[in-house]
Amino acid sequence: MMPAWLEGHPGLPRLLAGLDTSGRAMTLAEHQRVHGDLPHRSPHELIEAIERSGLRGRGGADFPTARKLRTLASARRVSALVVNGSETEPASAKDRLLLTRLPHLVLDGAVLAADAVGAPEVVVQMGAGAGGSPASLEAALAARPKDPVPVSLVAAPEGYVAGEESAVMHYLNGGPPLPTFVPPRPFQKGYHRLPTLIQNPETLAQVALVARFGERWYRELGTSADPGSALVTISGAVADPGVYELAFGTPMSALLDAAGGTTEPLRALLVGGYFGTWVDASEAMGLRLAREDLRSVGCSLGAGVLIALGRSACGLHESARVIDYLARQSAGQCGPCTYGLRAIADSVTAVADGVAHGQERRRIERWCQEVKGRGACHHPDGATRFILSALDVFSQEIAEHREHHCRAEPAGLPVGGATVRQAAGQRS
Amino acid sequence: MSVRLKVNPIACEAHALCVELLPELIRLDDWGYPLIDSEHVPPELMGLAERAVDACPTLALIIEEEPE
């Protein structure tokens, strides 16, 4: 039976097709019944099809997948394909959903991509939070003894920055899960200090579908600039928080409706997770799930995270909690990030508590501009983008908090230990 | 060829010798770490920039040559 949230979304689900309400992983037989056998595609054919499909990476960087595959395919030697399922963003649950419930789709894509770039092995790094048990992935691997490349499974270490690609490489090479100074980037020198292909699980699941059904099919959904569908983790003031698959071009209001609709009038939406951007609710409703729309308000979808903030909550206090979390999650390697984010977090907390000096906002803005771009990884860039958008969208609240004590209800944005329920999208 | 001044932020330990030697391009942030306002090194400052790079105790200051 078709789940209610799919009404009005023809052509969906694609990635989530066949997912039932049982909570268990799809077996190989079930997977093949839904999607058919994996066709043979030569590396050249596959990369051409991916290129024409317009697929971009779903880990947050939006990089064209075919271009990455081509770069690695032309390398003299590639050590591995690393599937980065770390998903350390607390408000995201899509990669764990794919790896725990639909492992064969990801593994199909992984085997194809490894073949396309000549990678002799696949390493899947999987996050442990929110039901991210490796058992179903282990069972899925055992059911595929004929895969042409060996696939191994590594438990991802905890920590927000541990999922950053240079940190993943550092960890797999025996170091701590901390970012390194780049370049070299993984495509130049990664796992075993050789060129490495690193991909997000959703990207590989999409590769598995394009390989089967072709680029024309892929483009039947979405817009010409952003073809296809995407997994979006929707949480906050919605009736059914969870992971949903929606076509690019879908209006924001339809996204919220898919998640059961809002539970109260909204004040703002956080688009793109904790490295993302707050958007005023009235402005957000005019947007579609498309890069051009999101860019027009300074946003990107990131790894597909959307958090609805209701009017009963306080965006300043929520932002203060999140920036405090991000400051604590700094790897502590780079001074501007270590000390800068701490100072920014303390100041934002003072502003939210209404005890800050009148000039504090300008100091926070100056610190954000100065800290941005001065870490080895993008942690300070994402954190400061988040705070600058908070100061902008909640400027009314900043003034009010100086006059009155804020009595807003905590909205409970997850900070450490994901609390987003997995896959409400599967309910029927 | 364009020449850029960069800091490896992991290696930098805020000794701040670079600011003493090259205040034309580098200032300190509120925590004592070097802030490079413009990475581009004009030819007349190349000598001073090279001295600052050599003086960094943790080899965190880098001159990168980039083809235009």
Task: Judge: B10–A367 Cβ closer than 8 Å, yes or no.
Answer: no
- Residue A186 touches partner B, C-beta closer than 8 Å: no
User: Residues 6 or more apart from B44 whose CB is under 8 A from it?
Assistant: none
Alpha-carbon distance of A151 to A22, in angstroms, equals 27
CB proximity under 8 Å: B 12-41 to A: 12-14, 29-33, 35
A421 pLDDT more than 60 = no
pLDDT of residue A129: 57
Chain B residue with the nearest C-alpha to that of A331: B10
How do residues A347-361 score in pLDDT, each as one tens digit?
A: 999 999 999 988 999
* A370: chain B residues, CB-CB within 8 Å: 29-30, 35
* B9: chain A residues, CB-CB within 8 Å: 181, 333-337, 374-376
Spell out a b/e string for A50-70, using b for 16 or more CB atoms within 10 Å of the CB, else e. bbbbbbbbbbbeeeebbebbb
pLDDT of residue A424: 37
In which region does residue A134 sit, left (phi positive, over 0), alpha (psi from -120 to 50) or beta (all else)? Answer: alpha
Global confidence as pTM: 0.92
The pLDDT of A110-137, averaged and rounded, is: 86
The pLDDT of A330-340, averaged and rounded, is: 97
Q: Which two tokens stand for residue A288?
A: 């579609």
The pLDDT of A160-173, averaged and rounded, is: 95
To the nearest whole Å, the CA of A331 is away from the closest chain B CA by 10
pLDDT of residue A427: 33
* DSSP H helical ranges for A237-334: 252-258, 281-284, 291-296, 315-328
pLDDT of residue B66: 77
- Lowest mean pLDDT: which of A40-44, A258-262, A286-290, A416-420? A416-420
The pLDDT of B24-51, averaged and rounded, is: 94
The pLDDT of A389-409, averaged and rounded, is: 90
To the nearest whole Å, the CA of A333 is away from the closest chain B CA by 5
A418 pLDDT more than 50 = no
- Residue B62 touches partner A, C-beta closer than 8 Å: no
Q: In this complex, how many residue pairs, one in chain A and one in chain B, have their CB atoms less than 8 Å apart?
A: 41
Chain A residue with the nearest C-alpha to that of B60: A181
Within 13 Å and on the Cβ side, how many CA atoms surround A209?
Answer: 24
Dihedral sign for Cα atoms in the order A354, A355, A361, A362: positive
Token pair 């942030």: residue: B29
DSSP one-letter string for A46-103:
HHHHHHHHT-B-TTTT--BHHHHHHHHHTSS---EEEEEE----TT--HHHHHHHH-H
Which of A330, A371, A381, A384 to substitute to test the interface with B, most B CBs within 10 Å? Answer: A371
Task: Judge: B8–A343 Cβ closer than 8 Å, yes or no.
Answer: no
Task: Judge: B10–A334 Cβ closer than 8 Å, yes or no.
Answer: yes
How do residues B16-26 score in pLDDT, each as one tens digit?
A: 999 999 999 99
Alpha-carbon distance of A97 to A320, in angstroms, equals 29
Taking alpha carbons only, the member of A142, A170, A140 closest to residue A156 is: A170
To the nearest whole Å, the CA of B19 is away from the closest chain A CA by 16
Strand, helix or coil at A417?
A: coil
Alpha-carbon distance of A254 to A259, in angstroms, equals 9
**What confidence tier does A132 reach under pLDDT thresholds 50, 70, 90?**
low
Mean pLDDT computed over every residue of chain A: 92
* A336: chain B residues, CB-CB within 8 Å: 9, 29, 31, 33
Task: Judge: A336–B29 Cβ closer than 8 Å, yes or no.
Answer: yes
A266-271 and A277-280 beta bridge pairing: antiparallel
Cβ-contact A424, A240 below 8 angstroms: yes
The pLDDT of A296-301, averaged and rounded, is: 90
pLDDT of residue A8: 86
The pLDDT of A379-397, averaged and rounded, is: 96
How do residues A189-218 score in pLDDT, each as one tens digit?
A: 999 999 999 999 999 999 999 999 999 999
- Residue B7 touches partner A, C-beta closer than 8 Å: yes
pLDDT of residue A312: 93
pLDDT of residue B23: 96
The pLDDT of A158-178, averaged and rounded, is: 94
pLDDT of residue A366: 98
How do residues A92-101 score in pLDDT, each as one tens digit?
A: 999 999 999 9
How do residues A74-83 score in pLDDT, each as one tens digit?
A: 999 999 999 9
The pLDDT of A56-80, averaged and rounded, is: 95
The pLDDT of A272-291, averaged and rounded, is: 94
Q: Which of A367, A370, A376 sits opposite B10 (nearest CB)?
A: A376
Chain B residue with the nearest C-alpha to that of A182: B8
pLDDT of residue A22: 84
